[in-house]
Chains A and B, each alone.
Chain A
Amino acid sequence: MKRRFVGAVLAAIAAAGVLASAQTASAQEIQLTGPLKGAPAVRSMRMYREGRFEIAPAASFTLLDEYRRTILAGAQLTYNIKDWLGIGVWGAAGVLSLTTDLANEINQTAPRDPLTAINVNHTGDPTAMPPQTLGPANFNDQTAKISYVIAPQLTFIPFRGKLAIFNKIFVDTDFYVAGGVGFVGIQERAACGGGGSQPLCASPQSFASLASETKVAPTFGVGFKFYLGDLVSLGVEYRALPFSWNRSGFDSRGSGPGNNFPDGQVNSQDDTFRFNQLVTVSLGFSFPVHPKISQ
């Protein structure tokens, strides 16, 4: 016990020493006197953004999808008020929707019987008397997909620099953070089991079509912009678009303690939160063609 205490004290002293020496080093870094004191960090910098309008056709790929991944085609339009601040909009439409291995696995192996009739697409009537044998239908028809995204946003560019690749290729680069509001068009399994004109969730009709809906969600992203020339830039961006939706079309919530148990209905209570993520690759064109140069 005593040895452990002594060890902990020595470790704390060592850590404090490391931190203290680091602070001394950083203090040395800022002790700049003479002609460079107060001078800007960068001179004669190409200001690729300030006063320029950029149109960037882009392709976006959703990440870590559970049942269906989407490829979106669109563009980012940005007017850069300052070299560090821009305002714009990102818009994209889902052009390709691919099912995941998990969705295919469920489609192929999930039993179609009265126990799964509410949750997995099937043929036949599970309530018929005498009981019918249920047949398989495509599970992928009930999984949700992203149709479009429109996101007005502000872009903040805190870091600007350059990159050397293999000591041969040198590229002006900036790092940015974008944030705004996303209007996301989705298609997900239509509400069922709620009475009125809604079909029963166990009936095959409840799986027949997807309903369109628009979700409003915050969106934010970080990215790099590589300036290949005065006119053209290459962008790589990671973006998050968190909101709740029912990706599987399952009835998973709505009754019991904390509404954590199925209630025989598919509705907004079955939406679950997901931190939707995308990677976007874009090719930007900025106008006017020639950027300003700082002092």
Chain B
Amino acid sequence: MGCAADNASKDAEGVAMKQARRWLLLATALVLLPQGAYAQKKKATKGTAPAAAPASADADADSPAAPAAATTPAPAPAGADDTGAPAAAPEGVGAPAGEAPGGMDICQITPDAPQCQAAKEFNLGAEAKKVVRAEIYAVQQQYVLKSGRLEIMPYFEFTLNDQFVSHDAPGLALNYYITQVLAVGLNGNFYQGLNSPSDFNFQNRRAARISVPLNDYQLSGDLNFTYVPMYGKFAGFGDFIFHYDAFVEGGLGIIRTEPIPVIDPDNRKFDWKNHVNFDVGIGFRIFFNRWLAAVLEVRDIIYDESIEATTVAQGSPTLPLNSPQNPLNPATWYDPNSHLTNDVQMQVGLSIFLPTSFDYQLPK
């Protein structure tokens, strides 16, 4: 009897032990469940691209990346504000999964939306609270890929540093981007007809009785190399994002100028002369979309100018034309000294990139 009671007690204990194992298995499964989900998510981000963000995404298709980003919340570090980086939007932190910020449950309207599908599988609120040490780039993806594209840049330039004659001109630049940051190109300005002597020039002549030699420009053309070391993005009014880059350029070319006869206008008639010039510039480009941008550039065209001589040959015009005393001798018209001239211009224009679309080769 006592033995039977002992056996019954052992059976009951065995049943209880079996039941405990089941509970342990269940508890283990519950504990592992979220970790399994986490591992799945990590796979998705660590691999190539999220499901909805193809490795080669068309540049004009911005919006497909957004739903994918919602399933992979990656809080940005405090230092790197995530201007416009959709990946950093932590869906589900402030609102239940699938609920729009305004409070309306969008899963009721579009149950097939990716975040609604994800909400069925994961507790996004709990997932968002986990620390994910994802690699965050300051600028996630360059907005415009320039490599292999042609830039057509019509512009208008204004003289910045000549108070006596302004040399404003329309111009056109063509740059081919060999790489993302380096371009080779041509540009030309046409000044003729737009050279404009200033009132300041007249005031000085009248008051101080001195004449400043002046020159007109006809046209200029340069072969340039452009380097783009800087790019970034701005949030405008905390509401919209725009992208920009900054570039430096340098090159050499030809500029055609002629002196305006000021000292001896009766006898001197100048012709256009070619001068070799060097040019350096720094510019700033704001992108409206992936093929159109506004450009602001300051450029210095540096060359050795031929200016009118401030002295006049005192001999008679009837002397032989090659006489240094003959005021009609063109050799006496130019100042023999060299005059290194800086023509500093501000250029305002548009930048059009062709082809207008491109494919990203990498996800980031």
* Chain A positions near chain B (C-beta within 8 angstroms): 22, 25-26, 28-29, 31-46, 64, 66, 83-84, 102, 105-106, 109-111, 113, 115-116, 119-120, 139, 158-166, 170, 172-173, 175, 248, 250-252, 262, 272, 293-294
Contacts and interface: CB of A to CB of B under 8 A. Distances in A.
A166 B139 CA distance: 12
A26 B101 contact: no
A35 B70 CA distance: 7
A46 B234 contact: no
Contacts of B23: none
B238 A161 contact: no
B202 to A, nearest CB: 9
- The 10 A-B residue pairs with the shortest CB-CB distance, nearest first, are A161-B234, A170-B138, A45-B81, A163-B232, A250-B207, A35-B91, A119-B207, A159-B234, A110-B208, A35-B70
A116 B138 CA distance: 63
Interface string B214-255: 000000000000000111111111111100000000000000
Contacts of A120: 207-208
B89 A36 contact: yes
B230 to A, nearest CB: 5
Contact of A35 (B115, B200, B239): B115
B66 interface: yes
A28 B204 CA distance: 58
Contacts of A158: 236-237
A43 B89 contact: yes
Contacts of A251: 207
Contact of B235 (A28, A42, A64): A42
Nearest to A37: B100
Interface stretch (B42-50, B72-80, B168-176, B186-194): B72-80
Interface of B: 60, 62-63, 66-67, 69-70, 75-84, 86, 88-91, 100-102, 106, 113-115, 138-139, 160-161, 163, 200, 203-204, 206-210, 212, 229-241, 288-289, 292
19 contacts: A35-B66, A38-B100, A42-B83, A42-B235, A44-B81, A64-B160, A109-B210, A110-B210, A111-B209, A111-B210, A159-B236, A160-B234, A160-B235, A161-B235, A161-B241, A162-B80, A162-B81, A165-B229, A172-B81
Given A25-B289, A31-B63, A64-B161, A248 B207 contact: yes
B289 A22 contact: yes
Contacts of A84: 237-238
Given A42-B84, A172-B79, A250-B207, 18 more contacts: A22-B289, A25-B60, A33-B63, A34-B106, A35-B89, A36-B69, A38-B102, A43-B76, A43-B82, A44-B88, A46-B81, A102-B204, A139-B208, A158-B236, A163-B232, A250-B203, A251-B207, A294-B81
B229 A106 contact: no
A162 B233 contact: yes
B209 A110 contact: yes
A22 B91 CA distance: 31
B86 A41 contact: no
B70 A36 contact: yes
